[in-house]
Amino acid sequence: MQKRCLPLLVSGLILLCPLAGLSAPGVSVGFSPEGTAQTLVLNTLDAATQEIRLAGYSFTAPDIVQALVRAQARGVDVKVVLDDRGNRSKTSRAAMNLLVSHGIPVRTNGQYAILHDKIIITDGRTVETGSFNYTRSAEKRNSENALVIRDMPELAARVPDLVFTRRPPVHK
């Protein structure tokens, strides 16, 4: 009996270890539709001082568009890569056009069946990721999550290699 319980106990501890990180000062988590996921994303964008890189599947959230425009206006270097097929609606096109009209480069990518990443890197130190699409539905109707990991430059440095450079843009 003890031999069978030990692997279960070890497995349980391994599974619980990441939960301990939720209380760490450099990690925050938010959920929607409760509203905390989008707040976390907006706070991350508003805290950026040098650079924002955003990759997303679908992009329609006006508050996120405005946060990116504000960042660009305060001198932050903002670049966006989005899934091509996930952003063909009028609402998505309007959001992308607004960014472009403010000098923010937006690229769509159709190289994969779905560019399903939802990730933001700010200032080479902070990473936001999770299921949270940058859309109105993600904030108001869907069950979504967002995880922000701060002050992890080694993680933030890997993300552009994994997300942005392996995906050459199809459209500019």
Q: Which domain holds residue 128?
A: 26-165
- On whether the CB atoms of residues 61 and 39 are closer than 8 A, the answer is no
pLDDT tens, residue by residue, 65-98: 999 999 999 999 999 999 888 889 999 999 999 9
Tell me which of 4 and 112 has the higher pLDDT: 112
Q: How far apart are alpha carbons 15 and 9 in whole angstroms?
A: 10
In percent, the amount of the chain with pLDDT more than 70 equals 78
- Does residue 157 lie within any of the structural domains? yes
Burial of 68 (0-12, 13-18, 19+ CB in 10 A): buried
- Does residue 13 lie within any of the structural domains? no
- On whether the CB atoms of residues 169 and 163 are closer than 8 A, the answer is no
Tell me which of 6 and 146 has the higher pLDDT: 146
- Does residue 130 lie within any of the structural domains? yes
pLDDT, residue 120, reads 97
Catalytic residue positions? 116, 118, 123
- Does residue 8 lie within any of the structural domains? no
- On whether the CB atoms of residues 134 and 67 are closer than 8 A, the answer is no
- Does residue 108 lie within any of the structural domains? yes
- Into how many domains does the chain fold? 1
Whole-number average pLDDT of the chain: 83
- Does residue 3 lie within any of the structural domains? no
Q: Residue 156's domain is classified under what CATH number? A: 3.30.870.10
pLDDT tens, residue by residue, 20-33: 434 444 999 999 99
- Does residue 17 lie within any of the structural domains? no
Which pLDDT band, with edges at 50, 70 and 90, does 159 fall under? confident
Quick check: bond before 33 cis, omega within 30?
yes
- Does residue 15 lie within any of the structural domains? no
